[in-house]
Structure 1
Amino acid sequence: MKYQKILVPVIGIALLAGAWHTWGWPGVALVTGGLVMWVLLYVNRLMTALKRAADRPIGYVDSAVMLHTRLKRGLGLLKVIAMTRSLGTALSPEGEQPEFYRWTDASESHVTCEFVDGKLVKWELVRPEQAEPADASDSPAAATGS
């Protein structure tokens, strides 16, 4: 069970009750204004991240390697979307846990992230195989004799 779903409303109600007990109706108005401001800041952050993500292709990131280095266990999906400025390509069926999303860059490297209840638990970077020269004599160093 997620305690955050229960804890946040309980704290809000406790703040309202404390404000009522201490200052009466002006205190309730002050705490209500603060709670509304907190919700509006969250919605503003959400809308900004989604607006930036709407301008980019789904599942695209500038550098998968840089994304891989910036990821940390416990990051929320919204923060990862804000980092990549792109919605991830969903790999898992809708509504199932865990959720898998993938971001790919121009070099076909990709990062696959696993989210449980909206929190990052695992991620993996996959880089494509680089084609190596078939013969060592084809290299510029062999041609110049260095």
Structure 2
Amino acid sequence: MTNYQKFLVPIGAVGLTAWAWQISGWMGVFMVFTGGVMWLLLYFTRLMQILKRANNRPIGFVDSAVMLNAKLKPGMSLMHMIAMTRALGQLETEKNTQPEVFSWRDGSQSVVRCTLVSGKLQSWTLDRPFQAEDVDPTTVSAND
């Protein structure tokens, strides 16, 4: 659907404007324009709120990397991920290169690395630090 979005949205806007013109003339065109401006203002307000919340947190830090890993879905936008984590991700690749890799870590040093192509999530990994209690202790006697 995203490949067609580049074409369907402008065609839909032109079609809606033409329909509004036929129904109400210039008043209909102004109503469509007003609706578009209202949608843009709502989108911009949401974007500013997300970035304002992210500004108050350290870059690349999240409360729980395991919970973030569970909530991620392929195709999520970077803005949706920033809204979920309430923090900007730590960029791990060169600036302005594709694919982009961002990481978020938590207090236990667990790290979620997300690969994004054109701003959409393609894949992610969860790396947890090795802990001694994760391994079952085995005893080996000298007689073996």
TM tier, smaller:
0.7 to 0.9
Indicate yes or no: 2:112 matched with 1:111: yes
Could you tell me which residue of structure 2 aligns to residue 142 of structure 1? none
* 1:31 counterpart SS class: helix
Shift of 1:6: 3.1
Q: Any gaps of 5 or more consecutive residues in structure 1? A: 137-146
Show the counterpart of 2:68: 67
CA–CA separation in structure 1 for the residues paired with 2:25 and 2:75: 40
Equivalent residues in 2 for 1:126-137, closer than 5 Å: 126-132=127-133
Task: Give the match for residue 17 of structure 1.
Answer: 18
Displaced runs of 4 or more, over 6 A: none
Amino acid at match of 2:88: L
Q: How many percent identity over aligned positions?
A: 53
Which letter does structure 2 place at the counterpart of 1:14?
Answer: G
Deviation at 1:9, TM superposition (A): 2.2
What is the TM-score of this pair, normalised by structure 1? 0.86
Q: What is the distance in 2 between the residues matched to 1:113 and 1:35?
A: 33
* Residue 85 (str. 1) matches residue 86 (str. 2): yes
What do residues 4-37 of structure 1 show as CA deviations (whole Å, max 9, x unaligned)? 2333222212211111121101111111111111
Superposition RMSD in Å: 1.8
Aligned to 1:49: 50
Count of matched residue positions in the alignment of Structure 1 and Structure 2: 135
Q: Match of 1:26?
A: 27
Q: Structure 2, unaligned stretches of length 5 or more?
A: 138-144
TM-score by length of 2: 0.87
Show CA shifts across 1:107-143 (max 9, x none): 000100011111111000000001349xx6xxxxxxx
1:76 paired with 2:77, answer: yes
Q: How far 1:2 moved relative to its partner?
A: 3.7
Alpha carbons of structure 1 residues 7 and 94: separation in structure 2 relative to 1, 3 Å: farther
